[in-house]
Chains A and B, each alone.
Chain A
Amino acid sequence: MATSTPPRPSHPREAVESVVIRFAGDSGDGMQVTGSQFTVETALAGNDLATFPDFPAEIRAPAGTTFGVSAFQIRFGTADVLTAGDAVDVLVAMNPAALKVELRDLKPSGTIVVDTGAFTERNLAKAGFPTNPLQDGSLAKYRLLPFDITKLTTDAVKEFGLGTKEAHRCRNMWALGLMLWMYGREREATLGWLQKKFVKRPDVAAANVAALNAGHAFGETAEMAEHVVGYTVAPARFSPGVYRTVSGTEALAWGLIAGMRAAGLSRMIFSGYPITPASALLHTLANLKAFGVLTFQAEDEIAAIGAAIGAAYAGALGVTSSSGPGIALKTEMLGLAIATELPIVLVDSQRAGPSTGMPTKTEQSDLFQAVLGRNADSPLAVIAPRTAGDCFPMGVEAVRLATKYMTPVIVLSDTYLAHAAEPWRIPEERDLTRFPVRFRTDPTDFHPFLRDAETLARPWALPGTPGLEHRIGGIEKDFDTGHISYDPGNHHRMTQTRAAKIAGIARDIPPQDVALGEERGAVAVVGWGSTFGAIHEAVRRARGDGLAVSHIHVRYLSPFPSNLGELLRRFERVLVPELNNGQLVQLLRAAYLVDAKGFNKIAGKPFHVAELGAAIREHAK
C-alpha cells in the first residue's frame, strides 16, 4: 500500500483501514486546535474522515480536574467514514484527568500516549487516582507509550527563550508532531498555520514549529521505543472534484449566503445573541461583510429575532440563530413572523436541555419546540441538515422556502453538526438553482394579504415603494382586504389558509428517499439530523448480516414529504433512533398512524454504531 513518507527500514509501517484518535487534555492545553490541525493534514492526505470535538462549558476549569477535560476525536480511513467512531484506537492523554475521563472509550489493546511529565502527585490526586496508573499495572491491557512530553518540549523550545508557561503551551504541537509521524501525514499546512497564527510573536511561532518538528523527529529516531510503530492509511476513493474540510457552521453560513444570492437579494441581516453553541455562526458571518452580510449582536434573543423580522420587512434576508433556551425566548416573535407572513430563517443549534442543561453537549430535543412550540395554530417550515456538508444545500433551501412562501423557516442543527468536520466536495455557484424573489411594486388592486394562487404566499411589499403604503401587525387580518379583523369566520379562514400554505410546501420539496436499502422490507430505520452517519453505518452492517433493513433520513420535518407515510407503511416495523426522549417518533405516529418505535439516547453524545446495531437486531427479530 502506498505511503506518503518512506517507512523506516527497521520499523516498516503497518497498513490499516481506519483509525480513531482522541486527543484529550486540559481545556487550556489546546486540544481542539491540535485535533483541527490533524484533521487538515489528514484531509490533505486524502482520507475520508469525521470528527467529534467534545469540550466542557467551562472556559478554563481549574487545571488538572476531570471536569476541565477537553477532547477532540477524529476517525479517518480508506473507505466511507460516516461517524467519528464508537471506540478509540489511540488516546493521547496530556494529563491524568484526561486519562481518567477518556479511558472508558479506549478499545482493549488500544494505544495510550501520555505525557509522564504531567503525572505529578498533585495532578494524580486532582484526577482521583490513588496510585499512579502508569506504574500500578492497571493499564496492562493497553499499549502504553509513556513519554515525558513536557520535558521533551521544554528542551526543544529552549533556544527561543520562552517562559516556562509559554514553553509548556507548545506540548500540544509536540504531541501533534508525533501523531502526524505515526500516520505518515505531512506537516506543511500546520507549519503555515502556525506562522500565520503567531505572526506577531515570531518567537512563539518558532517554538511551536520546533515542538512540532521535535515530536515528529521523535517518531523517526532510532532510540525510540521499538513498540512505537508507524502506520499507513491509504487515501479514500472520492468522486472527482475540488475538496476541503468543512464544519456544519461554515457550510451553513456559506449556504445562507448562496441562498441569498440565488434569491437575488443583496443584503442579509444576521442577528444573534451570544449562546453556546450557536455563536460560532455569528462569528463566521461577521467576517463576511463583503458578501452583503451585516451581523448584529442584539441585546437579547428577542431583539435578535426582532431585528431579523424588521430586516425582512424592509427587504433583506433576515436570519437569526440560537440554541434551545434562546429559541424559547424568540417564540413570541416567531408568532409575529407567522402572522405578518415575513420570510426569516431561524437556525437552532440544539444542545442538551431543558434549561441550561449541558450547553456544550449535543441533543436533538428541540424538534417539538420547532414544529409545535408556539401559542395558537402557528405552522412554519422546519428542515434539518444531516451532515456538516448538507448544511450548505439546506442553508440554500431555507432561504428558498422562506422567500417563496413568505414564512419563517427553522433550520435544526445541533452541537455535533456545528463543530463536526468532514471532507466536502466544493460546489460551483453556477450550478446552484436560482429562485429570484419578486418584490411587489404595482399599486393596482394591492393589499398586503393578497395571495399567490399556487403558493398562498402574500406579496413582499417593501417600505420605500410608492403607492404600496400599508399597515401590518400581529392582529388578525381580513382575508379580502388585509385590514384588521375580529370577524369569527375570517379568523377560521385565515388560520386554515396559514396551515394550507405551509402544508403546500410538501408539493415543492423532494419526495422522501431511502438513503440505504430497499423501499420495502422488515425494518425502516428512520432518523433525522446529525444522526445520519451513525444510523447509515449501523444499517449497512445490519444489511451485511442479512437483515432486510433500510435507512430513511428525513430532512424536511414540517411539512413532511408527501410520500413519507406511504413509504413507512411498506415496512413491517419502523424504528426511530433519536438523541432525545422520543419526538420524531411521536410526530410520525400522529401523522401516519404507524406503529413506530423509538430508540433513544439522551447522554449529550452522538450514537455509537454498535448500540444502534443492537437496537436494529432487537427490532428485526
Chain B
Amino acid sequence: MTVVTVTDRELQPKDYASDQEVRWCPGCGDYAILKAVQKALADIGAPRERTVFVSGIGCAARFPYYISTYGFHTIHGRAPTIATGIKLANPELDVWVVTGDGDALSIGGNHLLHVLRRNVDLQLVLFNNEIYGLTKGQYSPTSRRGTRSPSTPLGSVENPVSACQVALGAGARFVARSVDTSMAHLVGVLERAHAHRGASFVEVFQNCVVFNDGVFDNFTAKEIAPEAQLPVEHGKPLLFGKSRDKGLRLVPGKLELEVVPATAPDILVHDERNRALAQLLTGLEPPAFPVALGVLYCDPAPAFEAEVHAQARAAGLGTDPASLDGLLRSGQTWTVA
C-alpha cells in the first residue's frame, strides 16, 4: 500500500481515493455518491487519519475500500454497532456509516433504530436503490408493492418502509435526503450532515442500473425533476416547479399538505427544527406531491458518547488512576498472619 502524506497543501477530492480498483457495475449510482463524498471530505478538510468509514454488507458496503481514510467493512446490518464501539472508545474519530436499504432497514433495522435513538455522533448514509443488488435483484424493504424480482415473480405484496420516516420515528435529530445524480445538492447535504453533532441520517436515492434501472425516474428524470422535486431550505418557502410556481401549505383545519400556486397565501416556510413538518415532508410522494429533498430535520441534542464520557469523568475517570489494590480490598477483609 502506498502511503501518501499530504501536509503542505489542502487535500483534493482525489486524495480521498484509495489505490483500490472500484468494482461497482458500470453506470452504478454508487460512483456518483463516492465522488460526492470525496468532494465533501475535501471541502470539509477531513483529516484522513481521523476519519473512519464503516459499512455492513451489500453493494454500498464496499464503499470503505475506495476511500483513503480508515475503513471497516463489517457484516450485514451491523455497521452501526461497530461504529458505536469506535465512538465510545475514541470520540475524537470522525465516523461515517455507509449502508443500503436491505442492510439498514431489513437485517440491520434494530441497529438503525438504536444508533439514531442514542444519537451517536456519526454520519449514516443510506444508499436506497429499492433492491438487493449484490445478491442479484431480490425485492427489498423499500421496494414498492408489485415489484417483480427473482423472489417475487408475481410482484411483491409487501408495503415498503419509508427510510426517513423510520429515522424520524427512531428519534433522529438530523434527517436529510438527496439523489445520487444531484452532485452539488448531495455534497451540500453531506457537508451539513458532517457539521451536525449527533447522529445524522442521510438517505440517497441511488439508481441500480442492473436490477432496478430507472426506479426513481418518476421524480429524477431530467425533464420532470423540477416539477417532481421539492428542495427544502431552512427559512425559505416551500416552493417548487421549473419556475418555482407551486408551493405547499396546510389544508385549512387539517394536518395535511396541499399543492397550491406559489402566489397563494399561507405558503409554508421550511423550519428544519419542526419535527411535525418533517414528518409531513417525508410522507410526500409522487405523483400527487413532489419528493422533498435536502435537510428535512435538524435539531441538535447532546451526543451519546459525549454523555457517556461525561458520566465516567463525573465518576472519577481521568483524575488520578484509580487504585486496583483499593478496589480489591473494598468491603470486608481479614488478615491471616
Binding site for B on A (CB under 8 A): 40, 43-44, 46, 189, 238-245, 254, 257-258, 261, 267, 269, 271, 288-292, 294, 296, 298-300, 302-316, 318, 332-333, 335-336, 340, 426-429, 443, 446-447, 462-475, 481-484
Contacts and interface: CB of A to CB of B under 8 A. Distances in A.
29 contacts: A40-B332, A238-B336, A244-B329, A244-B334, A254-B324, A267-B89, A269-B89, A290-B315, A290-B317, A291-B317, A291-B324, A296-B84, A305-B81, A307-B82, A314-B86, A314-B89, A316-B89, A336-B74, A426-B328, A427-B328, A429-B325, A443-B3, A463-B86, A466-B49, A473-B72, A473-B73, A482-B1, A484-B20, A484-B65
Contacts of A318: 85, 89
B312 A289 contact: yes
A291 B327 contact: yes
Interface stretch (B107-115, B189-197, B200-208): B107-115
Given A306-B78, A307-B82, 14 more contacts: A244-B331, A257-B324, A269-B85, A290-B312, A306-B84, A307-B88, A310-B54, A426-B328, A447-B1, A466-B49, A467-B3, A469-B48, A470-B71, A471-B71
Nearest to B84: A307
A470 B329 contact: no
A464 B278 CA distance: 36
B88 A311 contact: yes
A240 B337 contact: yes
B90 A254 contact: no
A292 B81 CA distance: 20
A299 B111 contact: yes
Contacts of B84: 296, 298, 303, 306-307, 310
Nearest to B311: A289
B243 interface: no
B308 A308 contact: no
Interface residues of B, number: 59
A478 B64 CA distance: 17
B269 interface: no
B81 A302 contact: yes
B3 to A, nearest CB: 5
B93 interface: yes
A334 to B, nearest CB: 11
Nearest to A448: B1
A332 to B, nearest CB: 6
B70 interface: yes
B140 to A, nearest CB: 20
A483 B20 contact: yes
A307 B52 contact: no
A427 to B, nearest CB: 7
A298 B81 contact: yes
A463 B70 contact: yes
B83 interface: yes
A491 B69 CA distance: 26
A285 B92 CA distance: 24
Interface string B2-24: 01010000000000001010000
Contacts of B18: 471
B324 A261 contact: yes
Given A336-B74, A426-B328, A465-B49, A313 B85 contact: yes
Report, nearest first, the 3 A-B pairs whose CB atoms are least far apart.
Answer: A310-B85, A306-B81, A473-B73
B46 to A, nearest CB: 12
Given A291-B327, A299-B114, A467-B49, A311 B334 contact: no
B81 A307 contact: yes
B50 interface: yes
Contacts of A443: 3, 5
A241 B336 contact: yes
Contacts of B69: 469
Given A303-B114, A314-B85, A463-B93, A243 B333 contact: yes
A237 to B, nearest CB: 8
